[in-house]
Structure 1
Amino acid sequence: MICALGSAVCFGTASVLQAVATRAAEPGTGSGVDPALLLRALRQWRYVAGLALDGLGFVLQIVALRSIPIYAVGAALAASLAVTAVVAARLLNTRLSRTEWAAVAAVCAGLAMLGLASGEEGDRAGSDALRWAMLGVAFAVLLAGTVAGRLPDRARALVLGLGAGCGFGVVEVSVRLIDTVSLPEVLANPALYALLLGGGAAFLLLTSALQRGSVTTATAGMVIGETIGPALVGVVWLGDRTREGLEWLAVAGFVVAVAGALALARFGEPPSTAPAEISPSGG
């Protein structure tokens, strides 16, 4: 759980840095999946620093996924929005209302409940059908990003957000479906390619969402996509369970943490503050 929370801190801080860098990049074609936008964002040092934090967060996420149920890790990752809100308030002088501070507290309370109720990760290896299904979902995420470019702004933001969330969800599940990293077995595992394709597609969709459309809507969709689906897969197909008699506490904690994250969805929005206006304490 400590690794999951550490991952949330890395992802939440990276979001602030990447949002500033993406807004500073030149706009692209307006399509849902815009690789050129990612290349332009990479010219911004803040985006590169955010990617470094994302890399560290991913390592911590893998450790967490190999130790505790997917539903606990997913809720912790959704809590990165609470981290983003607090970091934005500190570095970008963003004001949090009393309701938003209450949402931050709700996220923390929900995660505490999950920490108390979570058991060990499920002992089921997962079927080959599930591995291929994850690869299929990863392709669908990439397709959804392409289709999103032809939709109206509000619908596009929702599709981009849900697509990015589902892509990150594919990563969460695929980590559990890779039972060995030895060659050549790992290269024959569809879950490896699902992880790479799902993660890459999710980053492309999220980068596009950070620059155009209603990112508050996109972020809410992302939270839903990366929590609910993977949690169900973990419980139904991988055997994730809670501690004996604490099922109700796990469900309550999951709902409270995700609801608190959704209340903070506006902090997925790129800040309007220009990079030059960021205080020296913010780097």
Structure 2
Amino acid sequence: MIPGLVAALAAAVCFGVATVLQALGARATTRGGVGGTLRAMVNPPFAAGLALDGLGFVAQLVALRSLPLYVVQAALAGALAVTAVTGALLLGMRLGRAEWAGVAAVCGGLALLGAAAGREGHRRPGAGFHWGLLVAAAVLVLCGAAAWRLRGPLRAGVLGLLCGFGFGVVGLAVRVLPGVDLPDVVPLLGDPALYALLGAGATAFVLLTEAVRGGSVTTATAGMVLGETGVPAVLGVLLLGDGTRHGMGPAAVAGFMVAVAGALTLARFGEVGGSEASPG
């Protein structure tokens, strides 16, 4: 279980630092349009951020295969604390008392979760659950297309929430995918959960990009945090058998709620290049 906790925290650190490096790379070019985006992507800080995203995803996979889902999802939301602190150091962003309290809440909540969490559940849902994840990914696409047409402050919140649900589907899919002995990947390729993972992940990234581009960064990121933590955590407990150490259930619930509340406090750092997270 210790390696899983280390992997979850490593994923949070990678994702949090990557966000700041990508903002540094994006600020290094003033050119707009596709050319500016491509120029930013080959900028060393931006490229380093992309590499950290890849490492973070690998660490996330390791954590999801050995920890309860509620621990991993809360840790990923805690990446906002890493972004906030790194942004303060590298981008000169201002952190007030509320933000520092949010960082402390995330750290304290995750520490409590780590102490209270048990091993991942070993309950394996049937094929119906795998197909259900694929259906959920398809519904996510339809809901995202409908939410795309919304206007005003509601749009960013709904798109962010749907993005969070998409990342939740990714976490659930990773948990139920079968182990693979290379080079025999046929069982994996025949599992609908694999395509749910790919579809939901791609949709989530598109929805989040549009949410922060055309609306409030804080609203979109808050919706994402709620979507990627709450529902997956409940499903992990009810369907996958995730649990806690004996007698530590209340502590785990408290740690989860404190960590998520801290992440919501830091929601404006969900896109450090956004207008709401200006440098000091």
Range into which the TM-score falls when normalised by the shorter chain: 0.7 to 0.9
Identity among equivalent positions (%) equals: 56
The 8 Å contact of residues 156 and 212 in structure 2, kept in 1 or not, is answered as: no
Structure 1 residues 236 and 58, CA gap change in structure 2 (3 angstroms)? same
- 1:205-242 CA-partner distances (Å, limit 9, x unpaired): 12222322111000000000110111111100000000
The 8 Å contact of residues 70 and 230 in structure 1, kept in 2 or not, is answered as: yes
Amino acid at match of 1:74: Q
Residue 201 of structure 1, aligned match among 188, 200, 203: 203
The 8 Å contact of residues 161 and 218 in structure 1, kept in 2 or not, is answered as: yes
Amino acid at match of 2:243: R
- 1:128-185 CA-partner distances (Å, limit 9, x unpaired): 1211111122122222332232111311101221111111111111001101224211
Cross-structure match for 1:281 = none
Q: CA deviation at 1:51?
A: 2.5
Amino acid at match of 1:234: G
Q: Higher relative CO (CA 8 A, sep ≥ 6), structure 1 or 2?
A: 1
Amino acid at match of 2:14: C
Structure 1 residues 101 and 118, CA gap change in structure 2 (3 angstroms)? same
Structure 1 residues 150 and 91, CA gap change in structure 2 (3 angstroms)? same
- 1:231-262 CA-partner distances (Å, limit 9, x unpaired): 11110000000000000110000000000000
1:44 aligns with 2:46: no
- Provide the C-alpha distance between the structure 1 equivalents of 2:26 and 2:70, rounded to a whole number of angstroms: 30
- 1:83-123 CA-partner distances (Å, limit 9, x unpaired): 11111111110010012101100110000000000000001
1:4 aligns with 2:8: yes
Cross-structure match for 2:19 = 15
Task: Within 5 Å, give how 1:42-121 maps onto structure 2.
Answer: 42-45=38-41, 46-121=45-120
Deviates more, 1:100-109 or 1:153-162: 153-162
The 8 Å contact of residues 121 and 241 in structure 1, kept in 2 or not, is answered as: yes
The 8 Å contact of residues 18 and 49 in structure 2, kept in 1 or not, is answered as: yes
Task: Within 5 Å, give how 1:252-271 maps onto structure 2.
Answer: 252-271=254-273
Structure 1 residues 235 and 22, CA gap change in structure 2 (3 angstroms)? farther
- Provide the C-alpha distance between the structure 1 equivalents of 2:210 and 2:38, rounded to a whole number of angstroms: 13
- Provide the C-alpha distance between the structure 1 equivalents of 2:125 and 2:114, rounded to a whole number of angstroms: 24
Cross-structure match for 1:33 = none
Structure 1 residues 90 and 131, CA gap change in structure 2 (3 angstroms)? same
- Provide the C-alpha distance between the structure 1 equivalents of 2:153 and 2:26, rounded to a whole number of angstroms: 20
- Provide the C-alpha distance between the structure 2 equivalents of 1:15 and 1:135, rounded to a whole number of angstroms: 29
- Provide the C-alpha distance between the structure 2 equivalents of 1:47 and 1:140, rounded to a whole number of angstroms: 33
- Provide the C-alpha distance between the structure 1 equivalents of 2:196 and 2:70, rounded to a whole number of angstroms: 19
Q: CA deviation at 1:264?
A: 0.6
Deviates more, 1:207-216 or 1:250-259: 207-216
Deviates more, 1:68-77 or 1:18-27: 18-27
Residue 217 of structure 1, aligned match among 219, 222, 234: 219
- Provide the C-alpha distance between the structure 1 equivalents of 2:148 and 2:63, rounded to a whole number of angstroms: 35
- Provide the C-alpha distance between the structure 2 equivalents of 1:266 and 1:213, rounded to a whole number of angstroms: 12
Q: Give the alignment's TM-score, normalised by structure 1.
A: 0.87
The number of equivalent residue pairs is 265
- Provide the C-alpha distance between the structure 2 equivalents of 1:66 and 1:173, rounded to a whole number of angstroms: 10
Amino acid at match of 1:232: V
Amino acid at match of 2:138: F
- Provide the C-alpha distance between the structure 1 equivalents of 2:154 and 2:23, rounded to a whole number of angstroms: 21
- 1:26-65 CA-partner distances (Å, limit 9, x unpaired): 47xxxxxxxxx7x974542254433321111110011111
